[in-house]
Each structure stands twice: as structure tokens, then as C-alpha cells.
Amino acid sequence: MTPTNGDDPDGATGATEAGRVVELDGVNTRSTATNPAKLQELILALAELLPAVFVADRWELYRPLKRGIHRDLIDRGVLLPDECRAVLRRYCSRLMYQRAVAACGPRFDLDRHAAGDVAPDEADHAKAAVAKIEAKQEHKAKVAKVIADNERATRKAAVATAPARTPKEMPAAPPPSAKQVSLGLAELKEAARARQEVADD
């Protein structure tokens, strides 16, 4: 991004009292420049405070911000210059924001009024940024797939090389004793009658 296009986080500077701390929905903005979680909290707070132009979810529809919007954020006392730089760097580097700039539409101020248009060279730069981000995401997806495939192959190989489990052996059935005799239905009925007679006696 070039410093003139308004989407450059390094262009987000302004004059304000050094050391001033702004509490934005309970988030201390002094140490956010190096903390991604705090930057995300600030973006969420900006989206709540200024929903007309800022979006919290990285997959929602974004609007290009006006050139110099950092000065408006600083002048309204929302952010300090360093925090503003870090937050805008994070926000403007998102894929959906770059796609919005690449679409060559109007830019918006904090009150969602049109404030100029995206210049053709800015749109070209954003298109290149979109291609770079998408290539990076595609590369990450390929790497993740290779890792998952390797883990799956390792698990499969471990199962294949593991010693085969033998089922527990069932105790062998005892051989029929000499006293055991297979009786047919007629013999069983005769035996039942004989027991009945003995029981009656």
C-alpha cells in the first residue's frame, strides 16, 4: 500500500498529547500495537462505537475508509496515534477490506458519508494485495492438508505394523462322556413318565 491511498497503516499518524490513554469499552489502548488479541478487541469496540463504517467480523462486507480517517479517530479522542496506526494496519490488511477497495467504490467517513472515491491505482494495489492474501491462504490450506495426510498415513502405518491380536480362545467343549447318550423324543418321554411314577410313589 502506498502512503497516499489512505489505506496505509503507516499513514495513520496525528498530533495529540503523548501518553494519553483512552479507555474504549474497558480496553486500555496503550499497549495494543504488539498484541493481536488487544487489536482485535479494539476493532470490535470500534465496530460497536462506529458501526456505520467499521466491521467486527472479518468476513462481513467492508467499506473503504476515507483517506485521513486516522486523524478523525484521533481528533474525536477514540484512539492514540500509535494505537490508531496498529488498528488500521490490522483492519485494512483484511481480505474483505482489500476486496472492497479493489471494487473501486466510494470511500466513507466516520458518519458513513461518501468522502471521495477509490482511485484506479489504489484499486490495482488492492487487487494485488487480494491475490497475495489468497495465495497465502491457499498455501496454508495445502500445508495443512499435507500435515493431515501425513498424520493419517502415520496412524494407518502404526495400525498395519501392530501385532495382530488373537481372539481369546474359547475353552474346548468337553468330550461327550460314555454315560451321556443321545436320547430321541420317545426316550425322553419315557424317562419323564418314569420320573413321574417315582415321584407319585
Q: What is the pLDDT of residues 48-70, one digit of tens each?
A: 999 989 999 888 889 999 999 99
What percent of the chain is predicted at pLDDT more than 90?
50
* 89 pLDDT more than 60: yes
Span 96-122, average pLDDT? 93
pTM over 0.85: no
Query: What is the maximum alpha-carbon separation in the chain?
Result: 120
Average pLDDT over residues 108-125: 93
Q: Give the pLDDT confidence score for residue 108 in this predicted structure.
A: 94
- Predicted confidence at residue 119, as pLDDT, reads 94
pLDDT number for residue 17: 32
Q: How far apart are the first and last CA of the chain?
A: 113
Task: Identify the pLDDT of residue 27.
Answer: 46
Handedness of CA 88, 63, 60, 93 (dihedral sign): negative
Q: How many CB atoms lie within 10 A of CB 30?
A: 15
Separation of alpha carbons 88 and 10, rounded Å: 9
Helix H, strand E, coil C: the string for the chain is CCCCCCCCHHHCCCCCCCCCCCEECCEECCCCCCCHHHHHHHHHHHHHHCCCCCCCCCCCCCCCECCCHHHHHHHCCCCCHHHHHHHHHHHHCCHHHHHHHHCCCEEECCCCCEEEECCHHHHHHHHHHHHHHHHHHHHHHHHHHHHHHHHHHHHHHHHHHCCCCCCCCCCCCCCCCCCCCCCCHHHHHHHHHHHHHHHHC
Q: Which domains does the chain have, with CATH numbers?
A: 9-138 (1.10.1710.10)
- Beta bridge partners, 108, equal 65, 114
User: Scanning the structure block, which residue is given the C-alpha cell 499435507?
Assistant: 146
pLDDT tens for 127-138 read 999 999 999 999
Q: Is the predicted pLDDT of residue 121 greater than 60, yes or no? A: yes
CA angle 97, 99, 100 (to 5 degrees): 65
Cα–Cα distance between 79 and 21 in angstroms, integer?
8
Give phi and psi for 27, each to the nearest 5.
-100, 120
What the block records as the C-alpha cell of 143 is 500445508
**Mean residue pLDDT across the chain:** 80
pLDDT digits (tens, 9 = 90+) for 148-196: 999 998 888 887 777 766 666 666 666 666 555 667 788 888 888 888 8
